[in-house]
Structure formats: structure tokens, C-alpha cells
Amino acid sequence: MALAIMSSGGDAPGMNPAIKKFVDYAYKQEEDTYLIYDGLEGLIDNKIEPATYLDVAGILHRGGTIIRSSRSKRFFEYEYRQKAYENLKSHGITGLVVLGGDGSFRAMDKFSSEFNLNFVGIPSTIDNDIYGTDYCLGVDTALNVIRDALDKIRDTASSFNRAFLVEVMGRDCGYLAIVSAMISGAEVCVIPETKFDYKKVGERLRAEVNNGRNYALAIVSEGTGQTGEVHKWLQDTIGLETRVSILGHIQRGGNPTVRDRLMAFAFTIAAVDHLLANKNSNKVVVYQKGEFKLLEIKDVVSGTYQLPQKYLDAIKLLD
């Protein structure tokens, strides 16, 4: 029996600690391990190598993923999925761990409906948008990167009469934006999940400006597509000269935080234990209310992640 691990889609801090734990933990159980390089593209091209402890030495503290990742178009085609399956079989791989996000899990759901697989997904995406889990690897590190940027932006914002608009990642999910707005005390937060009330927020902000507020911080989630619109509103309607910072891919980098390392270990141990105890099982390890569980991949990809109500309530206070 041999186990393999791959990363797929956007990389996330925490992937490396997961890869290290995978190799070390499986080795302790006397299992052979393989690393699949370059994500689904590498699976198609048979970039599959046996792993030793040397491959994963000194990687724990590094962001990104040492086995690299990809977003594969070819994997949408059956002939390439078949090739991927044959590659796994040719190495005798009977269990696969996939570090990935929503798109990767959809691909694995399709793959597992066609071929006899035994895999476990570990939610890994800074977007924190996977149904069924309260936490995805990489989120804490990304939030700390954003917090650091926002603290610095506040320093300069408070020295001028200006508004600062910061666009954060998250794809269609406002998790990064909402948490960042809460922990930075932002005055404005715009997320895809709720309609932004320009009139109501504008009245409050203008009153505050009239009362002496001389700067403001606005967090806009990329998924809203409203960065330009909010910029114009801050300048023209609120009357604050406004600078825009799009944080971009720095949010995906950085050394994994303590939380991301510990979560990576726990997710990985749950994944390997499950693979060793089961056959033909296609699951995702999820973290719910402080506990690790396994959900069917079908249920994970058919559900939609909802932002916690307590966070939605918190930004309602900014209305």
C-alpha cells in the first residue's frame, strides 16, 4: 500500500507543514509515500516521486507548497483523468491526500465518480469558502498578512486627511474582508454576501467627517467587483481624498502561523488515519465546532459556505 499527497489550485500557507506531517506520520505507520508535483497537471504528466524524510526536511516554516500546484484545464477532459488514474495505479498508490480548495474538490468529485479512488481532501485555501468546515488551511496566515498591512496603512492614513480603500482577496467569499474589517476597526466593509447600503453608510460617514473624522479605512472584498465604485463614492460623495491598495498575492504568502501549522498537523493525521482504515472512500476532513470530522466529497461540493452570523452581525454595526 502506498499513499500520495498533492496540492491543487491556489497555494496556501500550511500546505508545507501538512506535507511534512504526511510523510513523517505515514512513515511511522510503515507506509510508502509519494509526492505528486505540480498538482493535477503533474498527476496527468506522472510527476510522481517516492518521498523520503529528506524531501520534507526544513519545510515546516515555509509558505507556499514545495510540491508546487496548478490550475489544470486538461483535467476537465476525460482522457487526461484516465491518464491520471493510470499513473496512480502504476505506482501502486492506494490512498491520496489532496490539499486544495473548492475547484480542486470539484475535480476530485468528478474523478472519483469515474474511477476507483480512495482519497481525502484537506481544505486549504485562504478564501475559507469550503462548505462544511469552519476552517481552511492558510486563513490565519493570510489574515495576519492583511492585519499587518492594515496596521501600516492606518499609520499613514491617520497622518493625513484621507480615506484608504484596501481590496482583499477571497474570490466570492467575504470571510477575509469581514474578519479584517473587524480586527482593524475599519469604517467601511463591502462583501459579496450582502448588499452595500451606500446611502445609509454615507450618511453616517459624512456625519462623522463633519464631527472631525479626518480619515477612514474601507475594506472591499475582491468578489464584489466594487473597488472602483467605492473609491469614487468615498471621493465624490463622502468628500475624502482616497488612496487604493490592492493587496493581491502577498495575501497568499508568508510563513504559516502557529495556528496554521497545528491545524495542518491535525488535518493531516485525520486524513492519513482515514485512508489507512478505509477503501474506496472519497471524503474531506472538516473542522466543525472544534472537532475534526469526515464528510462525503459529494456533500462538500454541493453545499455553499455561509459566513458565520456573528460576523455578519458585527459588520451590521457599520451601517
Binding site for ligand F6P (CB under 6 A): 10, 71, 101, 125-127, 169-171, 222, 252
- d(CA 49, CA 36) in angstroms, rounded, equals 7
CB of 151 to ligand F6P, least distance (A): 21
Please, what is the Cα angle at 213 between 247 and 150, to 5 degrees?
A: 20
3-state helix, strand, coil in the chain (%, to 5): 45, 20, 35
Shortest distance, CB of residue 168 to ligand F6P, whole angstroms?
Answer: 8
Q: What does the alpha-carbon distance between residue 65 and residue 33 come to, in Å, rounded to a whole number?
A: 17
Residue 71 CB, nearest approach to ligand F6P (Å): 6
Q: Which is nearer to ligand F6P, 71 or 83 (CB)?
A: 71
Query: Which residue intervals of the chain are DSSP H helices?
Result: 15-28, 39-44, 78-90, 102-114, 139-157, 175-184, 198-210, 227-232, 258-277, 297-302, 309-316
Identity of the residue, 10 or 95, whose beta carbon is nearer to ligand F6P in the bound complex? 10
Residue of 127, 129, 140, 260 marked active site: 127
Q: Cβ closer to ligand F6P: 10 or 39?
A: 10
Q: Which is nearer to ligand F6P, 23 or 178 (CB)?
A: 178
Residue 50 CB neighbour total at 10 angstroms: 12
Could you tell me the smallest distance in angstroms from the CB atom of residue 122 to ligand F6P? 15
Please report, to the nearest 10 degrees, the dihedral formed by the alpha carbons of residues 315, 303, 107, 274 taken in order: 100
3-state class (DSSP) for residue 223 = helix
**Measured CA distances, 39 to 121, 157, 166, 317 (Å):** 13, 41, 31, 42
CA distances from 288 to 144, 239, 244, 293, 296 (A): 22, 44, 36, 7, 14
The answer to whether 109 is a known catalytic residue is: no
- Contacts (Cβ under 8 Å, ≥6 apart) of 282: 108, 109, 112, 117, 118, 119, 296, 297, 298
- Tell me the closest approach of the beta carbon of residue 225 to ligand F6P, in angstroms: 12
DSSP secondary-structure letter at 43? H
Question: What angle (nearest 5°) sits at the alpha carbon of residue 247, between those of residues 137 and 140?
Answer: 20
Say if residues 220 and 178 touch (Cβ distance below 8 Å). no
Nearer to ligand F6P, 7 or 87 (CB): 7
Closest separation in Å from C-beta 146 to ligand F6P: 11
Residue whose CB is less far from ligand F6P, 142 or 285 = 142
**Residues taking part in catalysis:** 127
